[in-house]
Structure 1
Amino acid sequence: MSATFKRWTTLTLLAMLAAGTFAAAYALRFGGAIPSAHLGTMGIMTLCALGVKLFSFCWHRLDQNVNRYIGFHDLLTIAKATTWATVGLTFMDAFILPEIAAPRGVLLIDWGTTLVALGLLRSAPRAYRDLRMSLAGESGRRVLIVGANDDGEALLRTLRLDRRRPVEPIGFVDPDPRHQGQHIGGVPVVGTPDDLPRLIASLAAAEVLVAGELPGRVVRAVMADAQNADVPVRVLPTYEQLLQGSVAIGPRDVSIEDLLRRDPVQLDDQAIGEWLAGQTVLVTGSSGSIGSEICRQLLSRGPGKLIALDRSETGQFFLERELEALAPGVAEVVLADTTDRERLDAVFAEHRPSVVFHAAAYKHVPLMERHPGEAIKNIALATRNVADAAETAGCESFVMVSTDKAVNPTSVMGACKQMAERYVQAKSVGSDTRFVTVRFGNVLDSAGSVIPIFRQQIARGGPVTVTHEEINRYFMMIPEAAQLVIQAGCMGAGGEIFVLDMGEPVRIVDLARDMIRLSGLKEGEDIELRITGLRPGEKLYEELYNDSELHKPTSHEKIMTADCTAQPLIRVLHEIGRLEEVIDAPPSDALATLETIVPRVASEAPAIRAAA
C-alpha cells in the first residue's frame, strides 16, 4: 500500500468522522428527534464543521499519524486539534454565520464526541491486531519485564508495536515494594525479583526482559533464577544509551557489566563546572583506560583547553581523533614521557595548565615484580616529576590517581604507588598548589584486566584460570571511576587522600563462573575452570585503607578520606632519592632497597611468592 493511498484513506476517515460526530452531536442535543426547523441549519453547519475540523486535524498532522500507538503525546495532540476546531466553529457561529448559529450545546457535545471518536480511530489498528491474533490463537511469547520504571514502560510500548515478534507482556517485576500492585499500561506489577522463580512457573513465562540499568545485584539474581528455570534473559538499552547512539536498538544478551553495575553516581555538577570552566586542564596517561575516560568526562564540563599527555604514539593517535569529534578545537594531544622532567617542564611552560590529573602509571603486578627499577621510575619518580612541574608552573590543583594496591602493599607496583602517595601528600604542605590523591580499586574491563582475559580464555575454549578460590577484588565501572576522580578533585583544601566507595568485593572465581554461564557454557562440561595459585606480588584480599589511616566521610556519599599525617617532605625526598639510585641496578638490589623503605613488601611478598 503506497503512502499516498494510505494518506487519502486516512483523510477520508477523518472527513467521515468530522461530519459524523457533528451530526451525532445534533442528535444527542435533541434526544434523537431533531426539530425540522434545525435540519437546514444542521446541514450547513455540518459542512462548515467538516472544513474547520479537517483543517485543524491536518494542521496538527493527525492525517499522518493514525497508525501509531496512542500515548500521552498523541492524546494531547488530539485534544489540541479538537479544541481548536471547536474554537473555530464557535467563532464562525458567533461572527460569520450568526443567522444560522447552531445551539451552543451542540458545539460542546461535538467537542466530546470528536475527542472520543479520534481516540478510538487512533487505537483501532492496535485493537484490530490484538483481536486478529486472539481469534487466530496467537497469544505471543509470554514475557516478564524486570523494572517498573520509565524504561520498562517504554519497553512495553515497543513490544506491543513489534509486528515481527508477537509477545504478550504478562507482568512487571520490580524491587521497589511501593510499585507492587500497580499497573503500567494495563500490565500489573506482580512481584519483586525474589518472587521470580515462582512467577516464572505460575505465569508460564517464556522470557525475562530487563528494562534499563538496574543495580548489578538485581541483574545477578534475575539471571540466576531465570537460568535455573531454563528461561532466557535479555537486557534492553536505556533512553540515554539510545540517544547517545552507543547501543543498538533492541534486546541484547546479559553482559558481565550488567551483573556488576552499581547505582548511578550523583555529581555536584555546579561545583565541578565552577572549578573547571574555562581552565586549561592537563591529563597524564591519557591513552590509558582511566586517563582517556577522564578526558572524555572533562570535555563535557567546559574546560577552556584540554591537554592529553601520554607517550603511547598509537594510543594518542586514536585518542586525538576521538576527542576532536567530541569537542572540536578544545583538546590537544601531546606526546611526552612523565619520566622526562625537562620535557614535562617544556609542556607545562607552553600550556600553563591550572589543573592536572596524573593518571599515568604502570599497573600489571606480575610484570613489575620482574622489573622493579622500571616500576620505581614510571610510578614513584614520574609522580615526583609531574608534581614538581605542576608546582613550578603555578598550577592551582594536582590530582593523583592511586590504587588500593598502595594499601599495605605486597607488590612492587603497590609499594611504588604508596611512595607516590607519600610524595603528593608531603608536597601539599606549604605549597600554593592544592595536591590531592584519589584511591580506588579495579575498574571493569580495562586493558589487560581480568575480564578481557577471561573473555579470551573462553573464546579459546579454556581453561579459565583463577589464581585462588578465595581471591576477591573491588570493581567499578570506568566512567564511574573517572566521574568520582573529577568530583574528588574539586574537594578538599590539599593533602587529602580521597578513597572511592567501591561497594562490596567480588570473588574472582564467581566472576569467572558468571562469564562462563553468560557464554552459554557449563563449567566442567564445556570448559575447565582451573585454580593456578597466587602470582608474585598478588594479594588475596584488597584493602582500601592502611592500618594507620582513619576513614572519614565527606560531603559526597561515595567519597571518603583516609585521614593520616603527611610525612616531612625532606624525608620523602630522601627515600625517593635512594630509589632513584637503584633504577638501573639489578632487580634484586632495586627490590631490596624498596623493601627497606616500604616494609610491608618485605614482610608479605615472600610468602605470596612462595605460594605461587
Structure 2
Amino acid sequence: MSLQVRRCLMLTAFAAVSAVTFVAAYSLRFGGPIPEQHVAGMTVAMLCAVGVKLFSFCWHRLDQNVNRYIGFHDLVTIAKATTLSTIGLSFVDTFLLPEVSTPRGVLLIDWGVTLLAVGLLRSAPRAYRDLRSNFAKETGRRALIVGANDEGESLLRTLRMARMQPLRAVGFIDPDVRQFGQHIGGVPVVGVPEDLPRLVAEYSAHEVLIAGSLPGRVVRTVMADAQRAGVPVRAMPTHEQLLRGTVSVGPRDVSIEDLLRRDPVRLDNGAISNWLAGQTVLVTGSSGSIGSEICRQLLKHKPAKLVALDRSETGQFFLDRELEALAPGVVEVVLADTNDRERLDAVFQEHRPRVVFHAAAYKHVPLMEKHPGEAIKNITLATRNVADAAEASGAASFVMVSTDKAVNPTSVMGACKQMAERYVQAKSVGSACRFVTVRFGNVLDSAGSVIPIFRQQIAQGGPITVTHPDINRYFMMIPEAAQLVVQAATMGQGGEIFVLDMGEPVRILDLARDMIRLSGLREGEDIEVEITGLRPGEKLYEELYNDSEQHKPTSHEKIMTADCAVQPLVQVLHDLRRLEAAANDSVAEALAALEEIVPRMPTETLALRVAA
C-alpha cells in the first residue's frame, strides 16, 4: 500500500472518529437522545469540528506516524493535537457560529472522548501485533532474562517483535531482591541469580539471556549455574556499546569481558573539563593500550591541542588516523624516543604542554629479566627524561602511569617502576610542577596480555598454559583504567601515589577455564590446561601497597592514596646515575646495580607472606 493511500485512509478514519465523538459528546451532555431543537446546530458544529480536528491532527502529523510503533511520546502528541482542536473549535463556535452556541459541556466531553477514541485507533495495530506475537509464541522456546532494567525491558520487546527467533520470556532474574515479585511488561521478576538452577527447572527454560551492564561477578554466577543446569547463556549488548557501534544488535555469546565486568566509573567530568579544556596536553606511550585510551578520554574534555608521543611508527600511523577523525585539527602525533633527551627537550619546548601523561614503558616481565639494561633505560631513565623536560618547559602537571608490580618487586620490571615512582615523588618537592603517580594492576585484553594469549592457544587446539594453579591477578577494563587515571590526575597537591580500586583478584586458572567454556570446549576432553611453573620475576600474588605505605581514601570512591616517605632528590639522583652507568654493562652487572638500589623480594618469600 502506497504512502498516499495510507494517509488518505488515516484521514478518513480521523474524520469518521471526529464526527462520531462529537455526536457522542452531545448525547452524553443531554443524557440520551439529542433534543430536536439542537440537531440542526449540532450538524453544523459537527462539520466544523471535523475540519478543525483534521487540521490539528495534520499539523501534529498524526497521519504520518506508524501505528504499530506507537509509544508514550505519540500519546502526548495526540493529547496536544486534541487540546489544540478543542481550543480552535471554541474560537470557531464563539466568533464564526454565534447563532449555534454549542454548550461548553459538549466541547469538554468531546475533548475527552476524542482523546480516548484517537488513542485507541492509533494503538490498535500495536496491541494486535503484541497480542498476536504473545499467542504465537506460547509454544516457543522459553527464556529467562537476567537484568530487570532498561536493557531487559528492551530485550523483552525485541523478543515479542521478532518473527525469526521463537523465544518467549517467562521471567526476569535480578540481583536486587527488591525487584522480586514485580512485573515488567506482564513478565514477573522471579528471583536472584543464585536461584538460577531452580528457576530453570521450575519454568522449563531453554535459554538464559543476559541484558545490560551487570557486574562481572553476577555474570560469572549466571554462567556457572547455567552450565550446571545445562542451558546456554547469551548476552545482549548494552546501550552504550550500541551507541559506540562496537557490537551488533542481536544476542551474542557471553564474552570474557562480561565475566570480568565491573561497575561503571563515576567521574567528576566538570572538574576534569575545567582542568583540561583549552590546554595543551602531551601523552607519552600514545600507541600503547593505556596511552591510546588516555588520548581518547582526553579528547572528550576539549583540549586546545593533544600531543601524542611515541616511537612506534606503525602504531602512531594508525593512532593519527583514528584521533584525527575524532577531533580534526586538535591532535598532533609526534615520533620520538623518550630516551633521546635532546629530541624530547625539543618537542617539549615546541609545544609547551601544561599537562603531561607519561604512559611509555616496557611491560613484559619475562623479557625484561633478560634485558635489565633496556628496562632501566626505557622505564626508569625515560621517566626521568620526561619529568625533567616537563618541568623545564613549564608544565603545570605531570602524571606517571605505574603498576602494582612496583610494590615489593620480584622482577626487573617492577624494580624499575619503583625507582621511577621514587624519582617522580622526589621531583615534587619544591617544584612548580605538580608531580603525581597513578598505580594500578593489569588491564584486560591489552597487547601481549594473558587474554589474547589464551585465545591464540585455544585457536591452536591447546594446551592453555598457566604458570601456577594459585596465581592470580587484578584486572580492569582499559577504558576504566584510563578514565580513573585522568580523574586521579585532577587530585592532589603533588607527590601523591594514587592507587586505583582494582576490585577482587582473579585466579588465572579460573580465567582459563572460563575461556575454555565460553569457546564451547571441555577441559580435559577437547583441550588441556598445562601448569608450567612460575617464570623468572613472576609474582604469585600482586599487591597494591607495600608495608611502608598507608592507604588513605580520597574524594573518589575508586581512588586511594599510598602515603609513604619521600626520598631526598639528591639520593634518588645518585641512584639513577649508578643505574645509568650500569645500563649498558653486562646483564649480571645491570642486575647487580638494580638489586643494590631496589632489593627484590624472592617470589617464594612473597607467596608465604601473602598467604599468611
What is the TM-score of this pair, normalised by structure 1? 0.95
Aligned to 2:250: 250
**Structure 1 residues 417-566: aligned runs within 5 Å:** 417-566=417-566
Distance 1:311 1:136 in 2: 61
1:9-28 Cα distance to aligned partner (Å, 9 max, x none)? 32332222222222222232
How far apart are 1:467 and its partner, in Å?
0.9
**One-letter identity of the residue aligned with 1:13:** A
The answer to whether the aligner puts 1:321 opposite 2:321 as a matched pair is yes
1:387-422 Cα distance to aligned partner (Å, 9 max, x none)? 111111121111000000011111111111011011
Secondary structure of the structure 2 residue equivalent to 1:99: coil
Distance 2:219 2:163 in 1: 28
The answer to whether the aligner puts 1:175 opposite 2:171 as a matched pair is no
Distance verdict in 2 for CA 1:202–1:477, change over 3 Å: same
Distance verdict in 2 for CA 1:607–1:150, change over 3 Å: closer
Distance 1:179 1:304 in 2: 47
Distance verdict in 2 for CA 1:184–1:458, change over 3 Å: same
The answer to whether the aligner puts 1:227 opposite 2:216 as a matched pair is no
Stretch deviating more after TM superposition (368-377 or 268-277):
268-277
Stretch deviating more after TM superposition (484-493 or 6-15):
6-15
Distance 1:157 1:606 in 2: 53
Secondary structure of the structure 2 residue equivalent to 1:63: coil
Distance 1:379 1:605 in 2: 26
Aligned to 1:15: 15
Is the contact between residue 438 and residue 485 of structure 1 (CA under 8 Å) also seen in structure 2?
Answer: yes
Distance 1:543 1:149 in 2: 36
1:264-307 Cα distance to aligned partner (Å, 9 max, x none)? 11111222112112111110000000000000000001211110
How far apart are 1:345 and its partner, in Å?
0.4
Distance 1:207 1:81 in 2: 45
Stretch deviating more after TM superposition (99-108 or 541-550):
99-108
**One-letter identity of the residue aligned with 1:43:** T
Distance verdict in 2 for CA 1:132–1:548, change over 3 Å: closer
Distance verdict in 2 for CA 1:230–1:43, change over 3 Å: farther
Aligned to 1:214: 214
Distance 1:606 1:376 in 2: 23
Distance verdict in 2 for CA 1:394–1:130, change over 3 Å: closer
How far apart are 1:544 and its partner, in Å?
0.5
Secondary structure of the structure 2 residue equivalent to 1:401: strand
Distance verdict in 2 for CA 1:346–1:489, change over 3 Å: same
Secondary structure of the structure 1 residue equivalent to 2:169: strand
Distance verdict in 2 for CA 1:326–1:100, change over 3 Å: same
The answer to whether the aligner puts 1:338 opposite 2:344 as a matched pair is no
**Structure 1 residues 138-149: aligned runs within 5 Å:** 138-149=138-149
Is the contact between residue 86 and residue 107 of structure 1 (CA under 8 Å) also seen in structure 2?
Answer: yes
The answer to whether the aligner puts 1:189 opposite 2:158 as a matched pair is no
How far apart are 1:602 and its partner, in Å?
6.5
Distance 1:50 1:407 in 2: 80
How far apart are 1:601 and its partner, in Å?
4.8
1:9-57 Cα distance to aligned partner (Å, 9 max, x none)? 3233222222222222223223331222222222222222222222222
1:200-251 Cα distance to aligned partner (Å, 9 max, x none)? 2222223222221111111111222223223222222233332333332232
Distance verdict in 2 for CA 1:278–1:564, change over 3 Å: same
Unaligned runs of 5+ in 1: none
Distance verdict in 2 for CA 1:232–1:607, change over 3 Å: closer
Distance 1:244 1:603 in 2: 42
How far apart are 1:144 and its partner, in Å?
2.2
Structure 1 vs Structure 2 CA RMSD? 2.0
Distance 1:187 1:93 in 2: 49
The answer to whether the aligner puts 1:588 opposite 2:588 as a matched pair is yes
Distance 1:478 1:563 in 2: 26
Distance verdict in 2 for CA 1:586–1:606, change over 3 Å: farther
How far apart are 1:562 and its partner, in Å?
0.8
Is the contact between residue 549 and residue 562 of structure 1 (CA under 8 Å) also seen in structure 2?
Answer: yes
Aligned to 2:569: 569
Aligned to 1:401: 401
Stretch deviating more after TM superposition (497-506 or 57-66):
57-66
Aligned to 2:412: 412
**Structure 1 residues 27-106: aligned runs within 5 Å:** 27-106=27-106
**One-letter identity of the residue aligned with 1:212:** G
Secondary structure of the structure 2 residue equivalent to 1:600: coil
1:142-175 Cα distance to aligned partner (Å, 9 max, x none)? 3322222222223333333334434433222221
How far apart are 1:106 and its partner, in Å?
2.0
Distance 1:472 1:282 in 2: 34
1:315-349 Cα distance to aligned partner (Å, 9 max, x none)? 00010111111111111000000011111100000
Distance verdict in 2 for CA 1:10–1:58, change over 3 Å: same
Distance 1:239 1:137 in 2: 26
Distance 1:607 1:235 in 2: 37
Secondary structure of the structure 2 residue equivalent to 1:95: helix
**One-letter identity of the residue aligned with 1:181:** G
How far apart are 1:605 and its partner, in Å?
9.6
The answer to whether the aligner puts 1:153 opposite 2:156 as a matched pair is no
Q: How many residues align?
A: 608
Stretch deviating more after TM superposition (126-135 or 115-124):
126-135
Is the contact between residue 411 and residue 600 of structure 2 (CA under 8 Å) also seen in structure 1?
Answer: no
Distance 1:131 1:341 in 2: 72
Distance 1:118 1:142 in 2: 36
Stretch deviating more after TM superposition (518-527 or 327-336):
518-527
**One-letter identity of the residue aligned with 1:363:** K
**One-letter identity of the residue aligned with 1:237:** P
**One-letter identity of the residue aligned with 2:309:** L
Distance 2:540 2:207 in 1: 38
How far apart are 1:376 and its partner, in Å?
0.7
Is the contact between residue 595 and residue 601 of structure 1 (CA under 8 Å) also seen in structure 2?
Answer: no
Distance verdict in 2 for CA 1:41–1:199, change over 3 Å: farther
Distance 1:178 1:569 in 2: 56
Is the contact between residue 283 and residue 359 of structure 1 (CA under 8 Å) also seen in structure 2?
Answer: yes
How far apart are 1:188 and its partner, in Å?
2.4
How far apart are 1:569 and its partner, in Å?
1.0
**One-letter identity of the residue aligned with 1:516:** I
Distance 1:9 1:303 in 2: 55
Distance 2:233 2:13 in 1: 43
